[in-house]
Amino acid sequence: MFRTGHVSRIIILAALLTGWCVGAAVMAAPASTEDPVQMLDRADKLKTANHVEFLQLLSQLDEHAADFSPDQQWHLRYLDAWQLAFDGRYDVARPALNDIIAHSGDPTLQVRALATLVNILGFGQHYEEAFTQLNTLVDLLPAVKDPEARYQALGETAQFLAAAGQYELASEYAQHILDDPELRDRACQGMAFKLRVLFLARKVRGTDPEYDRGIATCLEARQALYANSLRNDQAKYAIEQGRAKDAIAIILAHYDEFASYHYRVLMNGVNVTLAQAYLQLGDTTAARKYANEAVSEAIKDKFSDSLGPAYQVLYQVEDKLGNPRAALDFHKKFMDADKGYLNDVTARAVAYQTVKQQVLANKMEVDSLNKQNQILQLQRKLDRKDMETSRLYIALLLTGVASIAFWLLRIKRSQLRFKRLATRDSLTGVHSRQHFVDEAELALRAAAKSTRTACLVLMDLDHFKDVNDTHGHAVGDLVLKRAVAACQHHLGRHDVFGRLGGEEFAVFMPACSASQARDRAERIRQAISATPLWGETRHVIISASFGVSSTDRSGFDMRQLMIDADNALYQAKREGRNRVVYGEHGDFLVPAASAASEPQAESLVSH
Q: Could you tell me if residue 333 is inside a domain?
A: no
Question: What does the mean pLDDT of the chain come to?
Answer: 79
Does 516 lie in the same domain as 459? Answer: yes
Among the ranges given (282-291, 451-460, 497-506, 595-604), the one the predictor scored with the smallest mean pLDDT: 595-604
Q: Do both 414 and 468 map to the same domain?
A: no
Whether pLDDT at 171 is above 80: yes
Residue 154 shares a structural domain with residue 42? yes
Domain membership of residue 366 (yes or no) is yes
Last residue of one domain, picked from the residues 399, 423, 447: 423
Same domain, 554 and 494: yes
Dump pLDDT digits (tens) for 253-305. Answer: 988 888 887 777 788 889 999 999 999 999 999 999 999 988 887 765 455 67
Q: What is the pLDDT of residue 67?
A: 85
Average pLDDT over residues 169-191: 90
Integer Cα distance of 351 and 130 in angstroms: 9
Domain CATH number, residue 171: 1.25.40.10
Q: Give me the mean pLDDT over the 231-248 stretch.
A: 92
pLDDT tens for residues 593-605?
433 334 333 332 2
Where in the sequence is the domain holding 371, given as residue range(s)? Answer: 343-423
Domain assignment of residue 226, yes or no: no
| 387 shares a domain with 468 | no
Q: Do residue 565 and residue 459 come from a single domain?
A: yes
Q: How confident is the model at residue 367 (pLDDT cuts 50, 70, 90)?
A: low
Distance (Å, rounded) from C-alpha 472 to C-alpha 466?
9
C-alpha distances in Å from residue 375, one per residue of 368, 386, 387, 397 = 11, 15, 14, 7
pLDDT in the model for residue 461 = 93
Identify the domain boundary among 142, 171, 203: 203
| DSSP 8-state secondary structure symbol assigned to residue 493 | T
Total domain count, the chain: 3
The answer, yes or no, to whether residue 531 has pLDDT greater than 60, is yes
Q: Tens of pLDDT along 463-495? A: 888 888 888 888 888 889 889 998 988 898 889
Q: Exposed e or buried b for every residue in 308-327, given b needs 16+ CB within 10 A?
A: bbbbbbbbbbbbeeeeeeeb
Q: Which of 176, 203, 230 is the last residue of a domain?
A: 203
Residue 362 lies in a domain: yes
Query: What CATH number is given to the structural domain containing 527?
Result: 3.30.70.270
Supply φ then ψ for residue 452, to 5 degrees: -90, 145
Residue 454 shares a structural domain with residue 415: no
Q: Kindly state whether residue 260 falls inside one of the protein's structural domains.
A: no
173-178's contacts with Cβ under 8 Å and 24+ in sequence apart are 177/151
Helix (H, G, I), strand (E, B) or coil at 544: strand
Separation of alpha carbons 35 and 60, rounded Å: 12
